[in-house]
Amino acid sequence: MFLLPQAKDELVAIVGVRIITAAKADFARGVIIIKNGRIAEIAADAKVPDGAAIIDGKGLVAMPGLVNPYSRIAGGGGGGAMGSNTLTLAYDELNPAMDVFRLLPRTGFTTLAIYPTQGATSGQAVALKPVGRSRDSMVIEKSSYLRFTMDLNTATKQQLKTDFETGKKTPPPKPPEKDQPVPPLKAEEILGRFMRGELRGIVETHGAAEIAHFYQVWKAHEETKAGTALVVFVDAWKAAALLGEKKATVLIRPELTLQPFTRNRINPAAELAKAGVTIVLLPSSDSLAAQEQFLFKVGELVKTGLDRGVAIKAITINAATVAGLDKRVGSLETGKDADILLFDGDPLDATSRLRVTMINGKVVFDGRQP
């Protein structure tokens, strides 16, 4: 049904489909025109160009491919919060031959950023799409964001302070002399890019206390343009007031938790959203099963109080933004990569099935069980 016929200029049109754009207004019924892997047009009614392969979207719902901005799905964990490893690249440890990349499209995830694990400043994450069998075909950004770890420890706090200060006082590198190659950036220049807002940062915390300690360290840099997001634990709802005041963006697992000393459920993501915090939802873990169950978990959060629109943004455009990828992925808009999911119902509904996963305008999963 969804195997595409050959098309001129790689032209594809999805017609008569309900569209969740995750950016602007949704379309109850619309057309998506894809040209050379990008969205050329998206509208309620658009003329289908001659020669385009047509996908009949009747009864289907299109949404942007899911983005997991903070993943270790390719394995390897551990590492402490000691030291500064700014120059470490997760790219270097990427093994494109891993089977998990072949299986990912059926979960709905079309973009991943894999982070390095070691050190208070751990290094640079790599962003990729699960297409092809080589690093070149997969990687879309070698330096997606800088990853930090917060820990309740004098050494870690001191290291972060030092690195932020270093970044602040390091000027942008001078452009090379004519005809000279661009030298690779030094550690302090990477930190400089981060502090100037040219490279995003994600800080992992492991409890509400660490959020407070991070902001104690960050106080001196609140006026900078640096874009940071915090990976938070389910108890982050306790720090909702603080996070709201700081207009924070958080990455949180889609789990409910218990109010202390009771069995009453709390929806941390909903509490944080209510406090004005921008939400990114992450799968519960790095297992393939957790990626598969992700939308069901998100649905549970919506059922228990998280606004549905907030939830959709939290798994698409917001997730792309924290990894510095929002210019390319995360929403269905003209000019963006054609990473599109087609469901046969509401994507958050347990009864809906993923029928098509499209990456760069190509169908990489056609809904059939392997």
Q: Name the residues that contact other proteins, by CB under 8 A.
A: 152-154, 157, 207-209, 212-213, 216, 235, 238-239, 241-242, 259-262
Give whichever of 258 and 289 is closer to other proteins, judged by the CB atom. 258
Give whichever of 56 and 245 is closer to other proteins, judged by the CB atom. 245
- 8 Å CB contact between 96 and 294: no
Residue type, 286: D
* Distances 149 to 81, 165, 327, 349 between C-alpha atoms, Å: 6, 16, 26, 35
Q: How far is the CB of 206 from other proteins (least distance, A)?
A: 8
Whole-number Å distance between alpha carbons of 253 and 248: 16
- 8 Å CB contact between 361 and 338: yes
Whole-number Å distance between alpha carbons of 145 and 249: 14
Give whichever of 158 and 334 is closer to other proteins, judged by the CB atom. 158
Q: Considering only CA atoms, which of 343, 341, 349 is closest in space to residue 296?
A: 349
Q: Considering only CA atoms, which of 68, 44, 120 is closest in space to residue 290?
A: 68
Give whichever of 246 and 336 is closer to other proteins, judged by the CB atom. 246
Q: How far is the CB of 236 from other proteins (least distance, A)?
A: 9
DSSP state, residue 337: B
Whole-number Å distance between alpha carbons of 126 and 144: 5
Q: State whether residue 96 is helix, strand or coil.
A: coil
Q: How far is the CB of 24 from other proteins (least distance, A)?
A: 38
Q: How far is the CB of 152 from other proteins (least distance, A)?
A: 4
Q: Where are the alpha helices (DSSP H) in the chain?
A: 99-103, 135-138, 154-169, 187-195, 208-218, 240-245, 268-274, 288-292, 294-303, 308-315, 317-322
Give whichever of 83 and 207 is closer to other proteins, judged by the CB atom. 207
Give whichever of 9 and 245 is closer to other proteins, judged by the CB atom. 245
Give whichever of 246 and 355 is closer to other proteins, judged by the CB atom. 246
Q: How far is the CB of 205 from other proteins (least distance, A)?
A: 11
Give whichever of 18 and 246 is closer to other proteins, judged by the CB atom. 246
Q: How far is the CB of 246 from other proteins (least distance, A)?
A: 13
Helix 308-315 to helix 294-303 angle (10° resolution) is: 150
Whole-number Å distance between alpha carbons of 131 and 175: 34
Whole-number Å distance between alpha carbons of 364 and 164: 41
